[in-house]
Amino acid sequence: MSKVWFVGAGPGDPDLITVKGRDLIAHADAILYAGSLVSKAATRWALAGCEVVDSKGMTLEEIVTWLIEKANNHETVIRLQTGDPGLYGALIEMVQPLDANHIEVGVVPGVSSAMASAATAVESLTLPEITQTVILTRVEGRTPVPPGESLAELARHHATLCLFLSITLLQKVENDLRTAGWKEDSPILVVYKASWPDEEKVIRGTLADIRDKCRQEKISSQAMIIASPALGARNWSSLKKSKLYDASFSHRFRRSITTESTS
């Protein structure tokens, strides 16, 4: 029985694919990788006889036709996607025609660029008493966002915002954050090509100057924007500690010291 696997390749560094994804690549008969964002190096575990094709110039219809044709002739077919396939990956548009053709489908999650960007910059997207929420979104450009999801509205929560597909719309991002009450000195992080060996760039700025800094560094694509009150916490002198490791806090795996001493 043949199966088409949508595999998250991770954000760029080929070592950031999951073990499951790598094992599937090592057994695949045909791999279609999204060459605009996935490094060819991600296919380095493929067998010599495996057909490896870049989908860069292909339309969605051509991609689907390719996957169906390969699935009709082979057992293991892989669509290798950037980051996690469930985020801005046109996953369902590809799955529906496969379902219609009664082709089995599987999805292997991947490390999203949002997580890789935070990791690169040694940032935590959540911080006790600062923010406990992460919003993964994009600013409205040519692709509309549904009502209630404008950045100006979402930013009112003052939670961590990870903005995909928005680097060319940085001016709009700034305006929306201002509308939502973010201060000029709010920290903003931009990571270009997070985890790509020798290409990654980290730009730290504020609402007031991040656009200038990105312009100077000529960043105009493949970048993650993170706006968060938790940014820079590594250098804070006072930090609320997580309850998880607090000696007075019991949980499933550890009884609190106070409970023990009073019982």
Comparison of 51 and 145: residue with beta carbon closer to ligand SAH? 145
Comparison of 28 and 34: residue with beta carbon closer to ligand SAH? 34
Q: How far is the CB of 108 from ligand SAH (least distance, A)?
A: 13
Comparison of 14 and 89: residue with beta carbon closer to ligand SAH? 89
Bin 154: left if φ > 0, else alpha if -120 < ψ < 50, else beta. alpha
Residues of this chain that interact with ligand SAH (CB under 6 A) are 11-12, 37, 82-84, 87-89, 112-113, 117, 164-165, 191, 193-196, 222-224
Phi, psi angle pair for 233, to nearest 5°: -60, -20
How are beta strands 160-164 and 223-227 bridged, if at all? antiparallel
User: How far is residue 31 CA from its own chain's centroid?
Assistant: 21
Cα–Cα distance measured from residue 244 to residue 128, given in angstroms and rounded to the nearest whole number = 10
Count of Cβ atoms closer than 10 Å to residue 77 Cβ: 26
Q: How far is the CB of 88 from ligand SAH (least distance, A)?
A: 4
Residue pair 230/131 in contact by the 8 Å Cβ criterion: yes
Q: How far is the CB of 164 from ligand SAH (least distance, A)?
A: 4
Residue number of the CB atom closest to ligand SAH: 83
Comparison of 182 and 196: residue with beta carbon closer to ligand SAH? 196
Among candidate residues 118, 112, 145, the one with its CA nearest the CA of residue 131: 118
Comparison of 30 and 223: residue with beta carbon closer to ligand SAH? 223
